[in-house]
């Protein structure tokens, strides 16, 4: 009963097979290899974006920080949700790698940025001239850290604000696959057609060994991205193994199959939980993550029975049994369906 | 009727006289001069802090950013009020000069940090380990950007939190003089005796040409501050002219006399405004700044009559006459009392 | 006839098999997994350094920059050879990731730092106080970029200087295996017993997919290294695949076998070249790299026949046939012995 | 007999008088004042450069670092002489404030950059693509740290290299006045007409309290300079006192008069020294600085008699009397002619 994180899953076997297949003969270093060319092309095809630029790295924090460093000037502020990964989970990688940029936290519901709150946050910078932060990219997360999704029209509403302010719109797509699978729209519809300028397209949490692709739809937006990747140590010398992962990940829709499995597991779990009186689901479980509140006593019982997940508030031990604590459950492609049923049976 | 900023005032003549007096003969460069030694000693005396270390710079943003860079590690977050000068008015100097540090905005009333909100903000970092920001210094402003003051017991309450978290407490004292003058307590009582570890002791806004002193009460807290000052270009070669300002500023309590004048002007202004129905004072006018809301039409009338001040919301022109807009009035030592009465007569 | 770079080789099959084996079941994320613990222990054993701290990353530039950021303060200068990888091939990663540190280039022969030249460079900083760079870590490369090696006594001589100056000694060991294999001394003798404080222990160029280990022999030297790794995006969520590589790399001495093969190939090549009148070997070919000078015409003939390698000076085309150009040949574990003979036959 | 530094001189009385005159009435803050406008215009006139942009700061290190941060990208390397102030005396301000830029040291004679050596240094970066540093601005010093001068044709020769490489040419003009005074050419001839794109125009070492002007001849070269100045804390709120200094400094050629006095003192000193057998002048004494070698015993005698200057090599005490040590003598406008004669009489 492992619901702690989609980072704890193994890679899908096809990914490792592709890496092994790529492992023969010589190959140009630092991304000048043929496999990298093919992988870039495959991703451009997926996004129906023949002009897009694609860059591969091994980690999601790297993808976000390099992209935002390339899109923002050091005195700009990135707008993001309070719960954004770049704010809460990346140890200040964005301020560091942008050279002193900041993150302005924007209110919203269910882990999302609210378009009006964004407009207000942007407006609040106005009139301060060189003394204030300059407005920089907006970075939203799809699926959000709360397991919810932006629909294309919600993205478009935010994009209206970014276009109005003349700043780029970035999507942290560590769980983009879960979004596409759940909404059943095309990758293009969920990105550039809705106004997204660049995406960190994630693979690691959804069956890869370690692979994230930075995609910039307008090739003029981030002219220095290769310098940013290199000077932060993220240009891998043997990039063919990243390219091999990406090709296998996209082949015959594996990426969507895996995301669909994860989403279905979460939906099954959410359905099972929704009928229970002793707990309360917190957000619409639209992707592969769900949150619920329950009394400490219940959590203790679940942990004792072998369930693994993160508590978002308070410690498991040391407080009253009837204090309510927030929990997060994550389902990935490899989750054992039997585990879900065992978990639900415990309740 | 100039109420725009205390940065628009001239320096007190005694300050320039002291600079002229210092202008004879040779003097060791880069702060190794005798006048600097005397100025440091004078400030240590003022603070009753014989162990304190004192460093001079010419600008307030420099003082804050150098001090906080010296007190914080690059992955730490500085806690500050939403309206703090370091957040709103320094173009990201703290994130830049700390090497990527961040600022966590803390709620509170009247421009202050609320101790409980601070505790919550600190607590929210917990449990994230290397992924989250590490807690860093708390930076509060005295007098605040809203013209209000922290009493010693309020400082002590915040210091309880910083001691508990093992982080230093910094005071942006650009208007510290106004605080001491208004509260009639000793500089020591309003800083280290209440738990403040370091202060940016301001002179520029209160009658100096350009002078801020960084004071660190525990000499072990900021061992690298001289490097931070030097590499950011803030160690002046002819530092005697900063020292001369500081000595004149402290001599016979000039600094407090000037602050008292400014505070009295603001109090007179506030008293005059408080009886008016057509506007609303926003915060207790405890130092030399006050804010009020009034209809656009009234602001237009005041501006037309020659009043100068900043509108904090909305433009003067282009909206309905009866929209209420927020205004800030600042009184400095040089303000013309007649101007205040003329301004009040306009209402 | 591929002698361009050891970055173009495939990984050894055992490495990919180990990754595939690691690919089952769940595993704690971000390095908290059991495989990482085992890999760290294995490396500590190899170095006979039970107190050492070990951190894994996927790229050599990252290992160097994170280690040096952890060992140096931002105003310190790192001493390195003129031809060091950190100076010539990492796009300023060290200055960037240290927050503005510099690299002082030190003279020496055959790609090495000369101990006396190091002493002079250190001495030249003296007396500048806060105005000059502060002396920071010395970083040497083993094997050097010129394919030469530091003997333990040469390391010890440099370590005398670093101890004298109170600065750490870092080894860029991207090709450390080639050094150990060639000198037939223990990893401990070639590092901490000779005074080395920290090493970037390379795997990528010697048969891994992407693996470098940062090893710090004195655990108190780099207290913040985990923050530096995290904020630069180099803490991989699925670290088990790095750990698996390291374990397979060390198992039954695979790492030394591969390095020995590479060295032998280079020795064979060097021997063959040394008898030729039309070219001139430039440095002792002690590891897996060699350099030679030859007329442009000869290079053109070799390229035309299918040889691949880098010219270190001048372009292949566009100059007189009898201009001498410098070439670099690199042999890795996977080099085809037949290719070497074919190459030699061309001469 | 004070020859230690032109930073130890007082300011010229006219400078302080101008500051006192500026000290009346209100004045817009942060450089929006009328005096700043006038000062900028005066400097544009001086340079015959109506399109130039002018920005004032209080310190030379700030001027250099802000200008170079504005002209260079963070992965670029600045080319400078080995003895450049930005390399030896600014604690890494350029690497810090550019966000990780580097300085490539270029050989040359007498404190100057040699144009051919510059070409070679630029060429050595070629072919490394994203792995190497990108070529950035060339920064030369006029007068040099060795007291020598670049003639317009020497500047033009270097400018040919910078134009060829597409990089800007920066002049550290901390002692620019001494250069103009000595060469008797116009400021324009010694800057933009010779290919210089930007200058740190110094006042502090030549009679000001603390004033440097950054001048950019092509207004499109440094679009973000105001952000760089602000975020590093160098935009002074009461900028009128910088402007007042600049106006007084330029008025009726005061700046050139002061520089001429300094140069004449140095020439008088050099002439006196040149006939002495017991010492050796090291460089042409073209501006206000000279260097000489002499036995330790002689230096000890001079110091004992009250002379003050810096030894550039070795300590005064603790070595053989007949070791030769290098000394630097600096003359500024305020130097006592009698002191020079007394000094010469000692020899």
Segment B244-288, tens digit of pLDDT: 999 999 999 999 999 999 999 999 999 999 989 899 999 999 999
Inter-chain touch C99–D97, beta carbons under 8 Å: no
C-alpha pair distances (Å), B307 with each of A119, B303, B339: 31, 5, 9
Percent of chain A whose predicted confidence (pLDDT) is above 70: 100
Do residues D90 and D110 touch, judged by C-beta distance below 8 A? no
Can you list the positions of beta strands (E) in B7-88? 53-57, 76-81
Question: What's the pLDDT band for B323 if we cut at 50, 70, 90?
Answer: very high
pLDDT at D53 (0 to 100): 98
Average pLDDT rounded to a whole number, residues A148-173: 98
DSSP string of B169-229?
EEEEETTHHHHHHHHT--TTTTTGGGT--EEEEE-GGGT-SS-EEEEESSTTS-TTHHHHH
Query: pLDDT confidence of C301, banded at 50, 70, 90?
Result: very high
pLDDT at residue B315 is higher than 90? no
Q: Which helix (H) or strand (E) holds B305?
A: none
Chain A residues within 8 A of D73 when measuring between CB atoms: 224, 227
User: What is the arrangement of strands in the sheet containing B280-281, beginning at the earlier edge strand?
Assistant: B280-281, B289-295, B324-330, B310-311
User: Considering only CB atoms, which chain A residues are within 8 Å of B132?
Assistant: 88-89, 91
Closest alpha carbon to B203 in B159, B246, B240, B237: B246
Longest dimension (CA), chain D: 62
Cα D291 from Cα D295, distance rounded (Å) = 13
What pLDDT is recorded for position A275?
Answer: 85
ipTM of the complex: 0.97
Q: Mean per-residue pLDDT for B100-106?
A: 97
Mean pLDDT of C23-40: 96
Cα–Cα distance measured from residue B289 to residue B331, given in angstroms and rounded to the nearest whole number:
6
Q: Is the alpha carbon torsion for D239, D241, D245, D247 positive or negative? A: positive
Q: Residue B303 CB: number of other CB atoms within 10 A?
A: 16
Name the average pLDDT for chain D.
Answer: 96
Q: What is the pLDDT of residue A220?
A: 94
Residue numbers in B near C130 (CB within 8 A) = 30, 226-227, 230, 235
Residue D275: pLDDT over 90: no
Question: Would you say residue A202 has pLDDT above 90?
Answer: yes
* pLDDT, mean over chain C: 96
User: Is residue C326 classed exposed, middle or buried when 0-12, 13-18 and 19+ CB atoms within 10 A define those classes?
Assistant: middle
Q: C310 — contact with chain A (CB < 8 Å)?
A: no
| Angle of helix D115-125 versus helix D152-165 axis, rounded to 10 | 10
Name every chain C residue with its beta carbon within 8 A of the beta carbon of B75: 224, 227, 230-231
C131 and B230 in contact by Cβ < 8 A? Answer: yes
| Cα–Cα dist D47/D250, whole Å | 11
For residues D296 and C99, what is the distance between their CA atoms, to the nearest angstrom? 41
Nearest to B95 among A101, A105, A128 (CB): A101
Chain D residue numbers touching A30 (CB-CB < 8 A): 130-131
pLDDT in tens, D63-73: 999 999 999 99
Cβ contact D59:B235 at 8 Å? yes
Strands D169-173 and D134-141 turn out to be parallel
Say whether the peptide bond before residue B143 is cis (omega within 30 degrees of 0): yes
For residues D305 and A113, what is the distance between their CA atoms, to the nearest angstrom?
A: 74
The answer to whether C36 and C202 have CB atoms below 8 angstroms apart is: no
Cβ distance C19 to A24 less than 8 Å, yes or no, reads: no
Q: Across the beta sheet with D310-311, what order do the strands follow?
A: D280-281, D289-295, D324-330, D310-311
- Least Cα distance to B289 among B147, B178, B187 occurs for B147
Predicted structure pTM score: 0.97
Res A14 pLDDT > 90: yes
Q: Is A128 a residue whose pLDDT tops 90?
A: no
pLDDT recorded at residue C219:
87
* Whether residue C126 has pLDDT greater than 90: no
Q: Chain A within 8 Å of D271 (Cβ-Cβ)? A: no
- For the segment C182-225, what is each residue's pLDDT rounded down to a tens digit? 999 999 999 999 999 999 999 999 999 999 999 999 989 999 99
Distance CA C298, CA C291 (A): 15
Looking at chain C, which residue has its C-alpha nearest residue B229?
C130
Q: How confident is the model at residue C275 (pLDDT cuts 50, 70, 90)?
A: confident
pLDDT(A313) > 90 = no
Cα angle for residues B197, B203, B208 (degrees, 5° grid): 165
- What is the distance between the terminal CA atoms of chain A, rounded to a whole angstrom? 13
**Residues C173, C202: contact at Cβ < 8 Å?**
yes
Q: Which residue has the higher pLDDT, D319 or C117?
A: C117
How many CA atoms does the CB half-sphere of D182 hold within 13 Å?
26
C38-58: pLDDT as tens digits: 999 999 999 999 999 999 999
Closest CA to C339 of C298, C310, C312, C305: C305
List beta partners, residue C330. C289
User: pLDDT tens digits, residue range D97-155?
Assistant: 999 999 999 999 999 999 999 999 999 998 789 999 999 999 999 999 999 999 999 99
User: Could you tell me the two tokens for D268?
Assistant: 């008088």
Beta carbons of C154 and C184 less than 8 angstroms apart: no
CB contact under 8 A, B96 and D234: no
Residue A271 has pLDDT above 90, yes or no: yes
- Mean pLDDT, chain B, rounded, equals 96
Which residue from B8, B9, B29 is facing D7, i.e. has the nearest CB?
B29
Partner C contacted by D102 (CB < 8 A): yes
Q: How far apart are the C-alpha atoms of A32 and C188, rounded to whole Å? A: 37
Instruction: Classify the phi-psi angles of B233: left when phi > 0, otherwise alpha if psi is within -120 to 50, otherwise beta.
Output: left
Q: pLDDT by residue (tens digit) across A31-54? A: 999 999 999 999 999 999 999 999
A 43-82 near C (Cβ less than 8 A): 57-66
CA distance D71 to D309: 35
Residue-level pLDDT at A284: 96
Please name the residues in contact with A195: beta carbons below 8 A apart, sequence gap of 6 or more. Answer: A155, A156, A158, A159, A160, A162, A163, A169
d(CA D39, CA B110) in angstroms, rounded, equals: 40
Cα angle B280, B286, B291; round to 5: 30
Question: Average of pLDDT values for D269-286?
Answer: 94
Contact status, residue B14 vs residue B209, Cβ threshold 8 Å: no
Say how far apart CA A20 and CA A240 lie, in whole Å.
11
- Greatest Cα pair distance, chain A, in angstroms, is 62
Q: Is the dihedral of CA A213, A214, A219, A222 positive or negative?
A: negative
DSSP calls for D61-107 = HHHHHHHHHHHS-TTEEEEEETT-HHHHSSTTHHHHHTTS-EEEEE-
- Pairwise CA distance, residues D40 & C181, whole Å: 66
Work out the pLDDT band at B219, boundaries 50, 70, 90. confident
For testing contact with chain B, the best of C28, C98, C99, C225 (most B CBs within 10 A): C99
- Exposed (0-12), middle (13-18) or buried (19+): which is A198, by Cβ within 10 Å? buried
Computed from CA positions of residues C49, C51, C53, C54, in that sequence, does the dihedral angle turn out positive or negative? positive
Cβ-contact A241, A247 below 8 angstroms: no
User: Cβ–Cβ of B8/D2 closer than 8 Å?
Assistant: no
Residues facing B172 on adjacent strands: B141, B200
pLDDT for the residue numbered B141: 98
The predicted structure's pLDDT at residue B314: 79
| pLDDT the model gives residue D127 | 79
Query: Of the candidates C324, C332, C325, C331, which has an alpha carbon nearest to the alpha carbon of residue C311?
Result: C325
The answer to whether C133 contacts D91, with C-beta atoms less than 8 Å apart, is yes
Q: Which residues contact D257 (CB under 8 A, 6 or more apart)?
A: D333
Other Cβ atoms closer than 10 A to B319:
11
Torsion sign, CA atoms B112, B114, B117, B119: positive
- Residues written for chain A: 347
**Alpha carbon distance D190, D47 (integer Å):** 9
Helix (H) or strand (E) holding D149: none
Residue B347 pLDDT: 87
Cα D101 from Cα D122, distance rounded (Å):
15
Nearest CA to B103 out of B175, B172, B203 is that of B172
Encoded tokens for C262: 């590479």
């Amino acid at each position: 009963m492992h619901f702690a994180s989609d980072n704890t899953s193994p890679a899908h076997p096809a990914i490792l097979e592709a890496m092994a297949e790529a492992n023969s003969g010589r190959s140009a270093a630092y991304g000048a290899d043929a496999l990298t060319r093919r992988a870039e092309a495959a991703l451009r095809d997926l996004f129906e974006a023949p002009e897009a630029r694609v860059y591969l790295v091994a980690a999601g924090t790297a993808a976000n920080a390099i992209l935002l460093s390339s899109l923002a000037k050091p005195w700009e502020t990135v707008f993001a949700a309070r719960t954004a990964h770049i704010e809460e989970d990346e140890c200040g990688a964005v301020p560091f790698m942008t050279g002193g940029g900041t993150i302005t936290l924007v209110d919203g519901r269910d882990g999302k940025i609210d378009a009006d709150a964004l407009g207000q946050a942007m407006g609040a910078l106005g009139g301060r001239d060189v003394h204030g932060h300059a407005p920089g990219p907006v970075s939203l997360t799809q699926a959000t850290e709360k397991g919810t999704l932006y629909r294309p029209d919600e993205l478009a509403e935010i994009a209206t604000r970014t276009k109005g302010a003349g700043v780029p719109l970035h999507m942290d797509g560590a769980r983009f696959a879960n979004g596409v699978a759940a909404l059943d729209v095309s990758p293009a519809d969920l990105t550039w057609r809705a106004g997204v300028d660049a995406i960190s397209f994630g693979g690691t949490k959804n069956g890869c060994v370690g692979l994230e692709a930075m995609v910039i739809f307008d090739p003029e937006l981030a002219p220095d991205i290769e310098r940013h990747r290199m000077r932060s140590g993220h240009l891998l010398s043997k990039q063919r193994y990243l390219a091999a992962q990406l090709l296998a990940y996209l082949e015959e829709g594996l990426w969507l199959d895996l995301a669909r499995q994860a989403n279905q597991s979460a939906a099954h779990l959410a359905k099972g939980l929704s009928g229970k009186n002793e707990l309360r689901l917190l957000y619409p479980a639209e992707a592969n993550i769900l949150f619920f509140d329950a009394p400490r006593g219940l959590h203790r019982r679940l942990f004792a029975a072998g369930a693994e997940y993160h508590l978002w508030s308070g410690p498991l031990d040391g407080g009253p049994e009837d204090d309510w604590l927030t929990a997060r459950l994550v389902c990935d492609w490899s989750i054992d369906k039997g585990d879900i049923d065992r978990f639900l049976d415990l309740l």
